Structure 1
């Protein structure tokens, strides 16, 4: 837990031991931490340099911990200061980059990244830099594109970044794929499935995309596409596949299942009344339903269509033929 202020596991364990014990001899500390005395002394020397421990003046040969409120507080202040400086430097570099890239040349709109390590690193950078949304078309093992099991995805999710993912049906046939999909759904990521996706694809905030260049057996390579007509085309491709894909849900026991069914007759009645201008309470009274039942069904329809507002739900209802448009006289 103290790694953020520069302590490794040994140093944190030693400091916690000193805090709990009050004063400890070197041999005793080495025994408690299962270290050699030489290693334990190196740990103590490092803690001493950071102001976290000192030799006891009252009890020679023993080490004591500095008060956590004072010692750790000082380290936190230093860490915050360093982070502020790094943030300022990042802002200046970003400003310089924008100034240089205000009129980018055509060759600057697309990067070619080669080598497995370089592709993986660039991929994590793209997703870690996402501020609002990550969209992905997934083939093969889902861990290659989703937020599961890697630090960049977890950090993005913790910032409230939205995920919309479309998987090839082949993923559902592998046990590993099912586990990863279940984890994604548990995190609130929106997942859908189609028989086949045209290509692997990741888009961050609609401003940066990655697509693979090579097939199996060749050296991994990928295109990184910046804001351009090509990026707009890739975004349009994702949205087209997303609209046609079937939503995935967590079934009983946490298993993944497809939501193949459309609205039932009751859903259609609720939709029709809502589109006619009735409130949820009026719809519930009209159909002799509970208010929560109406709201739950509307939420289910929004999840089915992948929309976030009722206005969008109404548009999808018309487009999918769930309700008929009223012809003017």
Structure 2
């Protein structure tokens, strides 16, 4: 609990014990802590350096605890000051980096990361640095990071960073797949499923991307891509796969299940009439439906296709063969 101010577990335990009794001999404190006296004395010396304990001037060999409100308050103030200085240094370094990389050389736009440990570390680091959104394509047979096994994901999601993830259908049949997808859905992450993703991919804030360069059997190697035309292409690839993938929902049994694979007959009729130029109210009247029903179904179709406008919905309806070029006669 006090590790943030530089104390290890033994030192923190020693300080807590000393606070509890106010003052104590090394031998008494060692007995309380169930530690050898040399270890206890070393902990007390460290506390003395932090201003948390002092030797009694009246009784040599006796140690006295400094008042927590004063001593800890001073340490916390010092830590805050150091953090502020570190934040300032980070801002200045970021500005210097941007100035130097205003027109970066081609070799500065990518990093090559080699080795399973290095790839896994960079994969987690990339997500921990995200502030807005993380997009990911997850294969059923990953190389360096197993499936959706990602200890950084939960930490990032709890900070309000949104996740959009497309997984291969094969992952649903794996022992860990259902558990991890259920956990992701419970964190309000958006998950979709598709037969096969073209590659494993993670994109953070559309500023950094990571994609593997090697397959199974070879030493894991990945490419970290910075802002560039290549990054935009990778973002476009993700969006294309996202549009084609089907949303996942949580079934009543708590098992992730694919959402309906497409619109029903009524949805198709609504789409056809809307594309023919009818208003929502006219469509509702024509099909003898409530206006809210029509609007709810249109919203559901937009969520299904992952679009934000009705114009995009119309385009996807044609691309997916949901509607013909001319509206069906009733």
Q: For the structure 1 residues 254 and 209, does the alpha-carbon distance in structure 2 shift closer, same or farther, using more than 3 Å as the test?
A: same
Q: Which residue of 2 is the match for residue 202 of structure 1? A: 202
- In 2, Cα distance between equivalents of 1:49 and 1:264: 73
User: C-alpha displacement at 1:121, in angstroms?
Assistant: 2.7
Q: Does 1:121 align with 2:121?
A: yes
1:20: which partner in 2? 20
Residue among 312, 315, 318 paired with 2:314: 318
Contact map agreement 1:318 1:324 (CA 8 A) in 2: no
Contact 2:138–2:148 (CA under 8 A) maintained in structure 1: no
Match of 1:83 in 2: 83
Partner of 1:180: 180
State yes or no: 1:248 paired with 2:244. Answer: no
Query: 1:45 — aligned with what?
Result: 45
| 3-state secondary structure, aligned to 1:175 | coil
Match of residue 8 from structure 1: 8
Per-residue CA deviations over 1:9-48 (Å, capped at 9, x if unaligned) read 2222332333334344433433443322222222222122
Partner of residue 284, structure 2: none
Deviation, 1:221, is: 0.8
1:52-63 matches, within 5 Å, as 52-56=52-56, 61-63=61-63
- The question of whether the paired residues in 2 share the 8 Å contact of 1:201 and 1:211 is answered with yes
Question: Distance in 2 between the 1:48 and 1:295 partners?
Answer: 69
User: Does the 8 Å CA contact 1:263/1:301 hold for their aligned counterparts?
Assistant: yes
Aligned to 2:167: 167
CA 38–324 in structure 1, closer or farther in 2 if over 3 Å, else same: farther
- The unaligned stretches of length 5 or more in structure 2 are 282-288
CA contact (8 A) 2:137 2:167 kept: yes
For the structure 1 residues 277 and 287, does the alpha-carbon distance in structure 2 shift closer, same or farther, using more than 3 Å as the test?
A: closer
Q: For 1:296 and 1:186, locate their aligned partners in 2 and report how far apart those are by CA, in whole Å.
A: 24
Local SS of the residue matching 2:12: helix
Cα pair distance change 1:320/1:12, threshold 3 Å:
same
For 1:122 and 1:111, how far apart are their aligned partners in 2?
10
Quickly say closer, same or farther: Cα 1:197–1:89, change in 2 above 3 A: same
CA distance 1:18–1:164, shift in 2 (3 Å)? same
How much does 1:159 deviate? Answer: 2.9
Taking structure 1 as reference, are residues 260 and 217 closer, same or farther at Cα in structure 2, changes over 3 Å only? same
SS at match of 2:176: helix
3-state SS in 2 of match to 1:144: coil
State the SS of the aligned residue for 1:163. Answer: strand
Aligned to 1:95: 95
Number of aligned positions between the proteins: 311
Rounded Cα–Cα distance in structure 1 between residues aligned with 2:181 and 2:9? 32
Distance 2:5 2:137 in 1: 38
Larger radius of gyration: 2
**In the alignment, structure 1 residue 236 sits paired with structure 2 residue 236:** yes
Paired with 2:162 and 2:248, the residues of 1 have a C-alpha distance of 16
Q: For the Cα contact (< 8 Å) 2:139–2:147, is it kept in 1? A: no
Contact in 2 for aligned 1:51/1:71 (Cα 8 Å): yes
Match of 2:145 in 1: 144
Q: Is the 8 A contact 1:136 1:145 kept in 2?
A: no
> Structure 1's 44 and 237: CA in aligned 2 closer, same or farther, altered over 3 A?
same
Per the alignment, do residues 315 and 53 of structure 1 end up closer, same or farther by CA in structure 2, a change over 3 Å counting? Answer: farther
